[in-house]
A = this chain, B = another copy of it.
C-alpha cells in the first residue's frame, strides 16, 4: 500500500488539477501561478491566494514570538499578491487553535496580525476559528486586485534571451532559522537581522507594482520554496530553461560573515534556502539594465542580474568555465518533515 508522502507536493497538486479540470473554466488564471485571477470590480482583476502556517512544519512556539508569527502569517500571503504586481485588499483568517494556548500569547499574536493588516492596508472581512488538540494551523486567504489595463505578470511569460533578476539577498531567512534554532544568545544578538528575516519577511509589494506599471512582458514569482524550486516552476510554465551564474547570486555581507564564521558553504542556502520572499523575474534584455538601476533608486531595494533564459530545458549552473545541470529537488537540503 503506497502512502501520499512518497509522492511529493507537486505530484499531489497535479492529481488535484487533473480531477478538478473544468470543462469551461471561467477564471482568467487558475491553479499554477502565485494567485488565481478572476473578473473583479470595474477595471480590475481580483487576485486570490491562500497559504497556511502549520505548527511543527513551518513554525514552533518555542522559536517564533507570537507577535512576529501574527505578522508572518499575513506577510507570506501578501508576497503572493506582490508576485502578481497587485495590491492586497481583503483577508479571511481560518485558524485552528489549541484551547491550552495562553491568553497572553494569543493577544500578542493578534497584535501582530493587526499591525500587518495596517501595514498592508488589508481589511479582515471574515474567517473561522476551530479547535484542535494537536498542531495549530493559521490559514489565510487574501484577495488583492490589479488594474486590467496592466498585463498580468505570469510565470508563463519568460522567453529565450530574457534576463533573470532577483530583488534583495538570498539565503538570509534560512540562515536566520538555523541561528534561531541552534544559535547561542550572543550569536542571535549579533545576527539578529538574519533571524528577523525569518521571523518577519518583507513582501516586495512596491517592486511588484512597479514591474506591472512598466506594461512589458515580465514573468514573476516570489522566492518562497527556494531559488531553484521557484525558478523551476517559472521555467515549467514558460517551457524554457535557465542558465544561472553562481557568482552573481546575491550574498549579503552579514550572511557572508556568518557563513565564514560557521565555516559553511553559502550555496545550499542561496539555491535551496527559501522563505526569503524576494521577487524573481525575467525581462527582455533591452529593459534589464534600466530596471536593475531604477528599483534600488526608487525603493532602496537592491536588484541583481543572476542569469538568463535559454532554450534547453532545466536549470544550468555556471561556475567559472563549468556548466552543470541541476535538479531542484536535489538542492532541497532543508526539506521539511
Contacts and interface: CB of A to CB of B under 8 A. Distances in A.
A134 B94 contact: no
Q: How many copies does the complex hold?
A: 2
Given A101-B4, A114-B19, A56 B128 contact: no
Interface in A1-36: 1-7, 9, 12-13, 15-16, 19-20, 22, 25-27, 29-31, 35-36
A111 interface: yes
A223 interface: no
Interface residues of A, number: 78
A25 to B, nearest CB: 6
Given A20-B117, A54-B96, A57-B131, A30 B103 contact: no
A99 B4 contact: yes
Contacts of A15: 106-107, 110
A4 B35 CA distance: 33
A148 to B, nearest CB: 11
Closest 9 CB pairs of A and B: A5-B99, A134-B134, A36-B125, A36-B126, A141-B141, A134-B135, A20-B124, A19-B114, A39-B41
Given A12-B129, A35-B126, 18 more contacts: A5-B98, A6-B99, A15-B107, A15-B110, A16-B110, A16-B124, A19-B111, A20-B124, A31-B125, A36-B125, A40-B41, A50-B92, A50-B128, A52-B96, A54-B131, A56-B133, A94-B139, A141-B141
